[in-house]
Amino acid sequence: MALQDVYADYYGKWLTEGSMDYIDFDGLESCMYQGHGQYSFKRFFRGLFDSYYRHGGKYLRVMGSAVQEGSWHYMSVCNVGGGDHMFNPVYNKWGIEGKDMRYVFESSYFPATFGIQSYQSNWSLYDAENLEAKSIGWDATYMLGLSQQAVEASGEKAAIFKAINIWQQARKAAIFTRTIKARLKNLKYKFHLERSASGRFSLFSVKENRFTDTPLVAKGTVLNLQNEFDTQPMDLSLQLHMPKEKSIQGLSIQLAGAKAITIHETLLNGQYILIKKACYIWLIQDANHWTPLWQIPGKKSAKEKVKLKSVPFNQMQICKR
């Protein structure tokens, strides 16, 4: 118990020296193991807050996954787990801790949380937006874990951080009604949010067709896409997986029976082929190296742009030559 008092005093001093106003504990097992029941929690937090204020702190937010009778009145958020154990924004899938989000927090006055969600270098723009959409749908907070390595290796980092900012602006403006939040919870969809120069927000549903571990063969692999919305240009992200010593040349992509597009650059393991609006193709080595591979040639008139958008992209074919 004496050592616990030392830690409480040290944490309060350390937080103020670093100009920090929140701290996240895990399960607070050290308080449980003292053998003094709830008194251990009360004594630790009382010492922590006294030290924090004594050293010049103003307001301390405390998070952790263990809300006990002796600690709840000191805590701001019950921060349960995180990552894929809570929610996977890529596959739109709950983990084992998702039950806490869906059942426990719905009957609690504590703010709900998705825990710690670490930025992944292979996230697409829609994956990151899905994390925002689902957390807003459930009225949940989350802590975004960042590492320089993961961010710098992310091909769409600029678009992702811009999108997160737009979602947070909309959240702050309280534009999401109860009906919209219920829609955002739907695991069948991801969502895309835009903000115009006039400040108007536009929310779009995104239906993702995902194909995993699809082999590339010389005769071609046909992937059938289901588009339940109005006819629209297609976004496509293709990541290549192969042994590190291998490479691919002459990858061919054909959209909806149109002329096949052959990529002559040498493609390596982990690289992405990114198609936006069915107009542009990039090879992404990392966030700082986007190589434009193909663009619809010539200057397009407004009429031709409309015509382009009317093409129903419901099938694509990929083959290796």
Strand pairing category for 280-286 and 272-276: antiparallel
Give the tens place of pLDDT for each residue, 38-86. Answer: 999 999 999 999 999 999 999 999 988 777 888 888 988 877 778 999 9
pLDDT of residue 283: 64
34 falls in which pLDDT band (50, 70, 90)?
confident
Give the tens place of pLDDT for each residue, 284-297. Answer: 555 556 666 655 44
Residue labelled with tokens 């019950």? 78
Residue 70, token pair as written in the block = 């002796």
pLDDT of residue 55: 97
pLDDT of residue 311: 30
pLDDT of residue 65: 76
What separation in angstroms does the CA of 290 have from each of 1, 161, 272, 283?
57, 18, 10, 6
Residue 205, beta-bridge partner list: 191
Average pLDDT over residues 211-224: 83
Rank 21-30, 100-109, 147-156, 197-206 by mean pLDDT and report only the highest: 197-206
Report which of 177, 103, 173, 101 is spatially closest to residue 135, judged by C-alpha positions. Answer: 101
pLDDT higher at 257 or 140: 140
Give the tens place of pLDDT for each residue, 72-83. Answer: 889 888 777 789
Q: Is the pLDDT of residue 276 over 70?
A: yes
Average pLDDT, the chain: 82
Q: Is the pLDDT of residue 255 over 90?
A: no
